[in-house]
């Protein structure tokens, strides 16, 4: 079982965004040492809890800090951008770090409506043209525009014999259906939606149309994970993300709460019911408990690979969670 990491570069209360970025660099080096297969960065805008609005830039640094682990984006929010320019950026990354670059593509705004309008100069970036954008992006990367196309003579540089892996990301059936139609890899965000994802994944596999890039379907399941040495410690660590999600539900744009802030928060009964609902998207507990549940999800979704996103109320416990998870799955060990 391949196990990977999604990092949203969380900003924990009491820390600066620059510290959050440095913690991403620290974590990717540990992830490679521990034996994780790939490491993705996410794109978000004007969110006080998340520090990375431009994963394509931070990606150059984490690739330089590592030598084996695949690195990429989870993902670039394509409706904001020119497919040609994104292809150029990732062609350059592939030239710098051949055989290690992933291009995960999403269609969500990655922030609120006002921020999305600011990103595009005053109009909301509708995703109506997303399928066309994806097709153009892949064709630019691979140099496969039809000869009759008006841009067929334009070459994306730096050209080379290899290209980034392309993944479509989603938390509904839309991207899964598109990935199947275009013959691309698909990653489902269980940490965003805990309902119906297994059906989406099976539909992707059943309807998959082989392509030159991907003769067979390849799928990834991304799950929110908090792993600790005891169940009580896992419960304590999970409280920070409980409050973070409550803040999001209530429209509060704030950093990730510290453990102490989560401990003293005056939760209402409605809050506690909401926490129970949100915890369906979290796998937490001891290493054995977490491993067993993740393997259950992997079987349920028939996923080829698991990816873990972990956010806690301090950076050391986040790193420790990934270490315990790697050990539970025997990463980096012979056999």
Asked whether 109 and 115 are in contact (CB, 8 A), the reply is yes
Looking at the chain, list the stretches that DSSP marks H as alpha helix, in order from N- to C-terminal side.
Answer: 17-34, 55-64, 83-96, 113-119, 130-142, 173-182, 197-206, 231-249, 259-264, 269-278, 287-301, 315-328
Q: Please give the Cα distance from 237 to 258 (Å, whole number).
A: 9
pLDDT digits (tens, 9 = 90+) for 168-203: 999 999 999 999 999 999 999 999 999 999 999 999
Which residue in this structure is represented by tokens 């998207």? 281
Asked whether 293 and 285 are in contact (CB, 8 A), the reply is yes
Ordered structural domains, the chain, with CATH? 2-230+283-328 (3.20.20.30)
Judged by DSSP in three states, 202 sits in: helix
Res 335: pLDDT: 46
Asked whether 74 and 7 are in contact (CB, 8 A), the reply is no
Judge if the upstream peptide bond of residue 156 is cis by omega within 30 degrees of 0.
Answer: no
Q: Please give the Cα distance from 35 to 30 (Å, whole number).
A: 9
Structure tokens at 297: 């999800």
Residues 6 or more apart whose Cβ sits within 8 Å of residue 221: 187, 188, 190, 197, 201, 297, 298, 301, 303, 305, 306, 307
Structure tokens at 175: 């991207």
Asked whether 81 and 45 are in contact (CB, 8 A), the reply is no
Q: Which residues of the chain have pLDDT under 50?
A: 335
**pTM (two decimals):** 0.96
Res 128: pLDDT: 85
Res 334: pLDDT: 57
């Amino acid at each position: 079982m391949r196990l990977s990491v999604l990092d949203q570069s969380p900003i924990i209360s009491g820390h600066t965004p620059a510290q959050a970025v440095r913690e991403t660099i620290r974590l990717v080096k540990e992830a490679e040492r521990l034996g994780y297969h790939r490491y993705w960065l996410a794109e978000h805008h004007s969110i006080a809890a998340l520090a990375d609005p431009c994963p394509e830039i931070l990606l150059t640094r984490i690739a330089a800090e590592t030598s084996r682990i695949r690195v990429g984006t989870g993902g670039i929010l394509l409706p904001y951008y020119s497919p040609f320019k994104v292809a150029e950026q990732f062609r350059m990354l592939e030239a710098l770090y051949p055989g290690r670059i992933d291009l995960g593509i999403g269609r969500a705004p990655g922030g609120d409506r006002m921020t999305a309008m600011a990103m595009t100069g005053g109009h909301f970036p509708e995703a109506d043209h997303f399928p066309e954008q994806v097709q153009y992006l892949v064709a630019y990367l691979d140099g496969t525009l039809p000869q009759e196309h008006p841009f067929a003579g334009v070459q994306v540089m730096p050209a080379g014999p290899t290209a980034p892996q392309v993944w479509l990301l989603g938390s509904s059936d839309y991207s899964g259906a598109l990935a199947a139609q275009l013959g691309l890899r698909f990653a489902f965000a269980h940490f965003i939606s805990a309902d119906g994802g297994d059906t989406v994944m099976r539909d992707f596999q059943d309807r998959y149309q082989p392509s030159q890039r991907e003769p067979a379907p390849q799928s990834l399941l991304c799950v929110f994970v908090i792993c600790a040495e005891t169940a009580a410690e896992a419960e304590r660590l999970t409280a920070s993300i409980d409050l973070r999600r409550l803040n999001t539900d209530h429209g509060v744009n704030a950093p990730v709460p510290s453990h102490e802030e989560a401990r003293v928060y005056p939760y209402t009964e409605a809050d506690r019911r909401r926490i129970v609902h949100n915890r369906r998207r979290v796998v937490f507990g001891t290493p054995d408990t977490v491993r067993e549940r993740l393997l259950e999800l992997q079987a349920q979704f028939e996923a080829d690979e698991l990816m873990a996103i972990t956010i806690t109320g301090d950076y050391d416990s986040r790193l420790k969670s990934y270490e315990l998870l790697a050990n539970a799955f025997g990463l980096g060990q012979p056999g």
